[in-house]
Amino acid sequence: MPIKSRIRTVPHYPKDGVMFRDITTLLKDPVGFRITINDLVIRYTARHIDKIVGIESRGFIIGSALAYQLGVGFVPIRKKGKLPAETVGHDYELEYGSDRIEIHTDAITEGDQILLVDDLLATGGTAEAAVTLIESMGGKILECCFVIDLPDLGGRARLEKRGHEVYALCEFEGD
Amino acid sequence: MPIKSRIRTVPHYPKDGVMFRDITTLLKDPVGFRITINDLVIRYTARHIDKIVGIESRGFIIGSALAYQLGVGFVPIRKKGKLPAETVGHDYELEYGSDRIEIHTDAITEGDQILLVDDLLATGGTAEAAVTLIESMGGKILECCFVIDLPDLGGRARLEKRGHEVYALCEFEGD
């Protein structure tokens, strides 16, 4: 478990009872960072990908290095109001309240094969919103890719129910 | 100017009179993204670097791909309250009000050679705060590296006055 063992657990962050899985300890380690990206490169190198879409902001770190190595373009999905040009957005429900993600209208071309990347899959709310946004622009989701899956929180089941493939480098159960 | 010509200018963002230099058009282009990172790889490949520190959040995109290709660790500097474990922070002045950036206390080891990376150098306020933070932890700044420099805003002069080397892939004057 060269990847999982390098991920730090921070208890009670961001609130009581949550075990936060912190990838900064993985990223700062040159071997840890390298094998994380290389494992994904091996998986996707023979697949046709037009663009990697990374979700703000830890998804930028994983998605960018992977896009570079695969030689494809990188597109950021950001929180509301952070992108400078014309955007389309999608609102989604959180445990308390709601949130909105946005993408530039010129970021995806009809028919683009998209790999969606984030660091962690929990309830899948943000990932599902991202998938909805990408598909509304005519993008096709090749797969949703994460470093960490928390299967007990149901994100994988939620995305698979919509017909999407989900891949994660490691899992933490009991969350 | 294969890099500069791929950067989009968005007038009056985030406020009237500002010409926002938007790298998302560079990043989504597989050639543009590749040559951006490769130009930096060529510059730094023979230099000794222990870690690349990227500033939230566009600095994550550039810094991460570069760290991967150079085979070094990646460390994020984030806005206040975004990092889960023990942090040190630095407050700095903005045009109106102030801001705070933070880094994990275990992110940098005394004597680490650090390449600081962000997408854009404007007044240099955030970069100077990042440099102060890194040096307070015993890190040595090899260079401060940007995709874009806006020389009229004085960031380069500000960092050089503190004795730091500054490198940018392109400049936009008249800002």
Q: Are strands A73-79 and A98-104 parallel, antiparallel or unpaired?
A: antiparallel
Q: Round to whole Å and give the CA distance between B101 and B126.
A: 8
Residue B34: list chain A partners with CB under 8 A: 68, 71
pLDDT score, position A99: 94
CA-based end-to-end distance of chain A: 19
pLDDT band at B129 (very low <50, low <70, confident <90, very high): very high
Section B159-166 average pLDDT: 98
pLDDT score, position B175: 60
Mean pLDDT, all residues of chain B:
96
pLDDT score, position B97: 85
Domains and CATH numbers, chain A: 47-168 (3.40.50.2020)
Q: Are strands A98-104 and A87-93 parallel, antiparallel or unpaired?
A: antiparallel
Residue B24: list chain A partners with CB under 8 A: 75-76, 83-85, 104, 107
Section B80-86 average pLDDT: 97
B11 touching chain A per CB within 8 A? no
Q: Is B136 left (phi over 0), alpha (psi -120 to 50) or beta?
A: alpha
pLDDT score, position A175: 60
- B156 an active-site residue? no
Of A8, A28, A60, the CB nearest to B51: A28
Flag whether pLDDT at B62 surpasses 70: yes
Q: pTM, whole model, 2 decimals? A: 0.98
Of A28, A56, A67, the CB nearest to B75: A28
| CA closest to B72 among chain A residues | A30
Average confidence (pLDDT) per 10 residues, chain A, 175 residues: 95 94 98 98 98 98 98 98 97 88 98 98 97 98 98 97 98 84
> Which of the residues A58, A78, A156, A158 is marked catalytic?
A58
Which ipTM score applies to this complex?
0.97
Flag whether pLDDT at B96 surpasses 90: no
pLDDT band at B151 (very low <50, low <70, confident <90, very high): very high
pLDDT score, position B32: 98
CA-based end-to-end distance of chain B: 19
pLDDT score, position B95: 74
Contact B107 A28 (CB under 8 A): yes
